[in-house]
Amino acid sequence: MTDALILIVEDEPEIAEILESYLAREGFRVICARDGTTGLAHHQRLRPDLVVLDIKLPGQDGYEVLAAIRRRGETPVIMVTALAEDLDKLQALRIGADDYVVKPFNPHEVVARARAVLRRTMGRARDSLLRVGPLTVDPDAHRATLDGDAGSLSLDLTPTEFRILVHMARSQGRAFSRADLVDACLPEGSALDRTVDSHVSNLRRKLAAAGADGMLEGVRGIGYRLDAPHVR
């Protein structure tokens, strides 16, 4: 857990430095941002394991940053703020904060809360990973990787291709009909069988190019199946 990356979004330099110092002393990797826009850019690029987020920020405030993070996924967020009103706490929790610390605070308390949140959420993230042979799919991070002789290779998938991959990886070895994939992965509802075939064909091509040829195969008269080669 101490290898976790923590993003601090705090516009007061003294507070940011204190938090960074205490968290780094405990072995965490830490990066800081002084405003919401920079914080969101760091979150998008670095994918931290935890965000420590102030509410009163220049530009985008903490509520807006939290809402944007939640639209992207489930990165845990601890709000650190001078706003102690119950309505402020409820607002943060309603948007999706995992915890809330009021200034002035004891830095040791923030470290303890960070450990508690990471213990809870990193365990949950491990449980949510989908593995099919050398393929690992992380639905929360929207990431799919293939392990091979040259290491781990990330797949560049469209949103629909990724939805299809997640849906099939949840039931390794099951044969899915085209109608199954339309209902689960193409919510626009007007998709035709040939649209599904096109998405699956592109996904199969990308898997093959990454070294997983044959993992996604057609099933005559039914549809498609995703399976680890050594399982068959």
The alpha-helical segments, DSSP class H, found in 26-150 are 36-46, 62-72, 86-95, 107-128
* 121 and 197 belong to one structural domain: no
| pLDDT for position 159 | 85
Phi-psi bin for 27: left (phi > 0), alpha (psi -120 to 50), beta? left
Residue given tokens 């109608």 in the structure block:
179
| pLDDT for position 232 | 37
User: Domain ends where: 101, 128, 155?
Assistant: 128
Q: Please give the tally of structural domains in the chain.
A: 2
Which CATH number characterizes residue 109's domain? 3.40.50.2300
Whole-angstrom distance, CA of residue 54 vs CA of residue 42:
15
Helices 62-72, 86-95: inter-axial angle, 10-degree rounding: 20
Which CATH number characterizes residue 145's domain? 1.10.10.10
* 92 and 139 belong to one structural domain: no
| pLDDT for position 189 | 47
Side-by-side strand order, sheet with 130-132 = 130-132, 135-138, 143-148, 151-154
- Structural domain including 49 reads 5-128
* 102 and 175 belong to one structural domain: no
* 111 and 140 belong to one structural domain: no
| pLDDT for position 129 | 82
Give tens-digit pLDDT for 144-184. 998 876 677 899 999 889 989 988 998 888 999 988 888 77
pLDDT at 140 over 50: yes
DSSP annotation of 230: G
Angle at alpha carbon of residue 123, lines to 151 and 156, rounded to 5°:
35
User: Domain ends where: 106, 128, 150?
Assistant: 128
pLDDT at 7 over 70: yes
Do 66 and 99 meet the contact criterion of CB atoms below 8 Å apart? no
Give tens-digit pLDDT for 22-69. 999 999 999 999 999 999 999 988 888 999 999 989 889 999 999 999
Give tens-digit pLDDT for 63-108. 999 999 988 878 899 998 876 666 677 777 788 888 889 888 899 9
| pLDDT for position 39 | 95
User: Domain ends where: 128, 148, 180?
Assistant: 128
Q: Is the pTM of this model over 0.85?
A: no
Collapse the DSSP code of 222 into the 3-class scheme (helix H, G, I; strand E, B; otherwise coil) and give the result. coil
| pLDDT for position 102 | 87
* 148 and 213 belong to one structural domain: yes
Q: How confident is the model at residue 230 (pLDDT cuts 50, 70, 90)?
A: very low
* 65 and 134 belong to one structural domain: no
Spell out a b/e string for 93-113, using b for 16 or more CB atoms within 10 Å of the CB, else e. Answer: eebebbbbeeeebeeeebbeb
